[in-house]
Amino acid sequence: MIEAIGLTKRYGTKTAVDDVSFTVAPGKVTGFLGPNGAGKSTTMRMIVGLDRPTRGTVVVNGRSYREHRAPLGEVGCLLDAKAVHTGRSAANHLAAMAATHGIGRTRVDEVIEMTGLRDVAGKRVGGFSLGMGQRLGIAAALLGDPRTLILDEPVNGLDPEGVVWVRTLVRAMAAEGRTVFLSSHLMSEMALTADHIIVIGRGRILADAPVAEVVAAAAGSAVQVRTPQPEAFEGLMAQYGARVTASGPGRFEVHGTTAPMIGEAAAAASITLHELTPLQASLEDAYLQLTAGEVEYHSSGDPSPLRAAAPALQTEGSLR
């Protein structure tokens, strides 16, 4: 269980995390989502006491991290895959960390085995690939068999097999009743892994809801319609105030209404429909809309259509 209240972090005049409050509950995987520079890593570093909050508090399993007598048994964290001395072997790195908590050699070997590092455990970390570094970071996080797991971008640099492995691991940890808090800027990965997501942009929380709810609330939801009577259909929709965009000859995307309503209206007006398909917005769409105004560095010239969609979403009850 992680509880943050009013967490704020300023670096000089720049506010990296701005009055953030949230709770990460045990027994499920909570995704922490946001563009690069949104404040994910800073928030995670404040949770484990590496960065001191400018304001606010955060407690893990009931206490602030530094008050725990055996921190590695409470929280395992992968904050930065590079948080390892490059001149030391993976096994020695883990052994040194284990020693501070009286964790035995057996457990060190166990996490080496679990993370598939056996063949490289004796090699110096400096020669590790990004993926092997990630595995070592995860091994270190698991060392104390912690009740809470905090992983910052765990799938970064992992091969597909590694990605599936991380997904299976965190789901298993959550199923055991542990708290799992996972950050990513990859929406697709979150959709597969997380039960609940917290979206952050420019240091503020944009959404904090179950994955399904965030998807459902996305303003991008539309209905695809095909009809041999395009003019009549467009006229009908105009009467209902629904927004219609043509996506092909005789094919439309209708926004602002639902498939059953379109079907009934068309039947009443004797308009033939050949297709009536609700288009579920992907989590990715939802995420892009939420963060459209919050990305620090835009790559495209004109993000305004997305930005325009964001306020509509803000009014949804389940989202903040």
Residues that bind other proteins (CB under 8 A): 1, 25-28, 45, 48-52, 65-66, 68-73, 77, 79-80, 82-89, 92-93, 95-103, 107, 140, 143-147, 171, 174-178, 191-195, 210-212, 215, 283
Indicate the residue among 72 and 223 with the shorter CB distance to other proteins.
72
Cα separations in angstroms, 211 against 36, 168, 205, 254: 20, 18, 15, 24
* Partners of 29 in beta bridges: 180
Least separation in angstroms between residue 150's CB and other proteins is 10
Q: Cβ closer to other proteins: 172 or 312?
A: 172
Least Cβ distance, residue 244 to other proteins (angstroms)? 29
What Cα–Cα distance (Å) separates residue 134 from each residue in 54, 97, 116, 283? 30, 16, 11, 26
CB of 215 to other proteins, least distance (A): 8
Q: Smallest distance, Å, CB 133 to other proteins?
A: 11
Q: Encoding tokens for residue 8?
A: 């704020």
The side-by-side arrangement of strands in the sheet containing 196-201 is 75-78, 148-152, 179-184, 29-33, 196-201, 204-210
Output the smallest distance, CB 138 to other proteins, in A.
13
SS3 content of the chain, % helix, strand, coil (to 5): 40, 25, 35
Helix (H) or strand (E) holding 245: strand 243-248
CB-nearer residue toward other proteins: 209 or 237: 209
CB of 241 to other proteins, least distance (A): 31
Q: Which is nearer to other proteins, 215 or 309 (CB)?
A: 215
- Quick one: 14 or 69, whose CB is closer to other proteins? 69
Nearer to other proteins, 171 or 255 (CB): 171
What's the CA angle centered on 10, arms 288 and 3, to 5 degrees? Answer: 70
- List CB contacts of 18: < 8 A, sequence separation 6 or more: 8, 39, 202, 203, 204
